[in-house]
Amino acid sequence: MASDPFLLFDEWLANARASEPNDPEAMALATADAACNPSVRMVLLKSHGPGGFVFYTNDESAKGEQLAANPRAALLFHWKSLRRQVRIEGTVERAPITQADAYFASRSRDSQLGAWASDQSRPLESCALFEARYDEIRWRYDGRDVPRPPHWGGYRVVPERIEFWSDRPHRLHERRLFVRDGEGWREGLLYP
């Protein structure tokens, strides 16, 4: 048994990067609003380590508003080619602005422009309207760097529980659970 879930996650993610045909960094993000109504969607893991698992989004999106009202979340990585999954549950905090600025600067110009043009999760009258907004933003920043919008940033899920699930024959799956215990982790097994 390992005592550091982050080292095990690094190993599993490296395996997924070698075998998954699409987006090994894709993860389901589950949130709930202030009334505890759940919502789940796919996002991309952009960085991770002992401090947590980081993704970026529009703060005014449904997930941004839900996280502002209820700063707890669950993540799920499912790597079908490996017959593995990782479940993560914890609190959510904002990633540092400097980290959000650096990641935003690394995105393609089209993605940067799209972050300005989109009122993410809001009703859209027509695709033509969104394309017109995109063209207006492209014109506004023509020949200039595109700054990070003030309503766009990063979130870090700080894990309290991390479960590693491995498929085994006859539904005798292996479930390894790490639970935060002070500054360290307590590890055990769960029945499948």
Tokens of 16: 């997924």
Determine which helix (DSSP H) or strand (DSSP E) holds 158, and give its type and residue range.
strand 152-166
5-105+150-190 adopts what CATH topology?
Answer: Pnp Oxidase; Chain A (2.30.110)
Q: Answer for the pair 190, 177: CB distance below 8 angstroms, yes or no.
A: yes
Q: What one-character DSSP code corresponds to residue 88?
A: E
Q: Determine the pLDDT at residue 49.
A: 95
At 173 the three-state DSSP class reads coil
Residues in the chain, pLDDT under 50: none
Closest CA to 157 of 36, 13, 48: 48
Closest CA to 177 of 185, 168, 187: 187
Interatomic CA distance for residues 94 and 68, integer angstroms: 10
Active site annotation includes 171: yes
Closest CA to 70 of 29, 107, 98, 19: 29
- Residue located via tokens 């899920």: 157
Neighbours of 31 (CB within 10 A): 23
What pairing do the DSSP bridges indicate for beta strands 152-166 and 174-181?
A: antiparallel
Q: Which of 171, 175, 176, 180 is catalytic?
A: 171
Q: Determine the pLDDT at residue 133.
A: 95
Interatomic CA distance for residues 120 and 76, integer angstroms: 22
Q: Determine the pLDDT at residue 2.
A: 59
- Residue located via tokens 């200039």: 144
Q: Determine the pLDDT at residue 53.
A: 98
Strand runs (DSSP E) across 33-71, as ranges?
A: 38-44, 47-49, 52-58
Q: Determine the pLDDT at residue 152.
A: 96
Interatomic CA distance for residues 144 and 188, integer angstroms: 53
Report domain extents, the chain.
Answer: 5-105+150-190
Interatomic CA distance for residues 130 and 33, integer angstroms: 27
Q: Determine the pLDDT at residue 76.
A: 98
